[in-house]
Structure 1
Amino acid sequence: MNISGNTIFIPGSTSGIGLALALELKARGNTVIVGGRRAELLERIAAEHPGIDTVQIDTADADSVTSAAKRVLDRHPDLNVLVTMAGVMRVEDWRDPASFLASAESTVTTNVLGPIRLIAAFVEHLQARPDATIMTVSSGLAFTPLKATPSYNASKAAIHMLSESIRLQFAGTSVKVVELEPPSVRTALLPGQEENEHAMPLDEFVAEVIDLIETRPDAKEIQVERVKFLRYGEARGDYDQVVETLNGTDPHGK
């Protein structure tokens, strides 16, 4: 993926990593469309950041994805990058089915079905572009589990394998598949995470991601240094220690 000259749609980018990445990509000379569920947030982003387009979308709703995709492509027929940013993360206790089932179903719908629906809605268009990118968003927790968030861990592991698989199918075409793998970042994804001293500051994370996109345009996985502890534990042979460390230091892992 080139760092500039793209038209990029980022659903799930009204806050946190998505919004910060959207603003930085716009500053690098890209046309950026921010997507989200809440109209008031979209209106505020459009007012505060002239030049950013916004589209209301709920990736947990198949009809919303279809209609939003049509609006995006009608307004931006040169779209060539899709970033499947939308996601949710919830603490669950699987010892009590009454407390986790609804959360697990919602997490899988948003984190797995959402990206699948988005890719399905845009893939025909992207294949017609001379240089296109699908950027999926997994997590360091796809590779090392956080005890408190089983469904989130599993959903991000699914996104990793989905990315690996469809990259094989798109080989030889104009569509690249890139997987962004964040570590814990100081956002509101979980209560208290914005103040978690073990999480990576948001501005540092986005700056490193932008640098990686710029210096490694052919990268298959975007991995900041902080995520490699989680990503490669099994390969290094210290997986058990990584699991123990993660769940001993993260306040939600106890």
Structure 2
Amino acid sequence: MNISGNTIFIPGSTSGIGLALALELRAKGNTVIVGGRRTDLLEQIAAEHPDIDTVAIDTTSAASIEAAAKEVLAKHPDLNVLVTMAGIMRIEDWHKPESFLASAEAVLTTNVLGPVRLIAAFIEHLQAQPDATIVTVSSGLAFAPLKVTPSYNASKAAIHMLSESIRLQLADTTVKIVELEPPAVRTALLPGQETSEYGVPLDEFVAEVVALLESQPDAKEIQVERVKFLRYGEARGDYDQVVATLNASDPHGK
């Protein structure tokens, strides 16, 4: 992925990693469209950053995705990058179905069906571009589980394998698949995570991501240093120790 000169749509970017990444990519010379459910945040972003376009989208709704895709492509026919950022994380107790079923359904709808529907809405357009990229967002927890977030772990593992698979299928097109694999980052993804000492500061994380995108334009996976402990436990042969360390040290894993 070239670091500049793109037109980029980032659904799920009204706060956290998505918004910080949108601002950094805008600063690198890209046209950026921010998408999200909360119209108040979209209005605030538009007011503070008039050079960033905004569009309302609920990635849990197939109809909303379809409508947003039509709006984005009508305004930005040169769109060539889609970042499937939207995601949620829930703490679950799988001892009883009433403690996890509704949560699991919401997580899988947002984190798996959402990206699938987004890709379906844009894939034909992207294939018609001379150079295009889909950035999927998995997690270090796709490779080592945090015990209190089973559905989130599973959803991100699914995104990893989806990324691997469609990269193979789309090898005969102009569309590249880049998988972003965050570690814990200081955002509001879970209660208390914004100030957690175990999370990477948001600005530090996004700066490292953009630097990697810039220095490794052909990268298939974007991995900041802090995620490699989780990402490569199995390859190193210390997977069990990684899982034990993760669940002993993370405040949500106790």
Unaligned runs of 5+ in 1: none
Partner of residue 229, structure 1? 229
Partner of residue 181, structure 1? 181
Residues 211-250 of structure 1 correspond to what in structure 2 (within 5 A)? 211-250=211-250
Runs of 4+ in 1 over 3 A off after TM superposition: none
Shift of 1:95: 0.5
Structure 1: distance between partners of 2:72 and 2:83: 13
Is 1:45 the counterpart of 2:30 in the alignment?
Answer: no
Partner of residue 62, structure 2? 62
Identical aligned residues as a percent: 81
Structure 1: distance between partners of 2:101 and 2:189: 20
Structure 1: distance between partners of 2:208 and 2:251: 25
Shift of 1:172: 2.6
Structure 2: distance between partners of 1:103 and 1:95: 14
Is 1:30 the counterpart of 2:30 in the alignment?
Answer: yes
Partner of residue 92, structure 1? 92
SS of alignment partner, residue 33 of structure 2: strand
Shift of 1:96: 1.6
Q: Structure 1, residues 76-116: CA drift from partner, whole Å, max 9, x if none? A: 00000000000000000001211110000000000000000
Structure 2: distance between partners of 1:50 and 1:64: 24
Residues 119-138 of structure 1 correspond to what in structure 2 (within 5 A)? 119-138=119-138
Shift of 1:42: 0.2
Q: TM-score, normalised by structure 2?
A: 1.00
Shift of 1:58: 0.3
Structure 2: distance between partners of 1:221 and 1:45: 29
Amino acid at match of 2:128: A
Structure 1: distance between partners of 2:201 and 2:236: 26
Residues 188-207 of structure 1 correspond to what in structure 2 (within 5 A)? 188-207=188-207
Amino acid at match of 2:14: T
Structure 1: distance between partners of 2:50 and 2:36: 17
SS of alignment partner, residue 171 of structure 1: helix
Q: Structure 1, residues 45-85: CA drift from partner, whole Å, max 9, x if none? A: 00011200000000000000000000000000000000000
Residues 154-173 of structure 1 correspond to what in structure 2 (within 5 A)? 154-173=154-173
Unaligned runs of 5+ in 2: none
Q: Structure 1, residues 8-28: CA drift from partner, whole Å, max 9, x if none? A: 000000000000000000000
SS of alignment partner, residue 105 of structure 2: helix
Aligned residues: 254
Structure 1: distance between partners of 2:253 and 2:190: 12
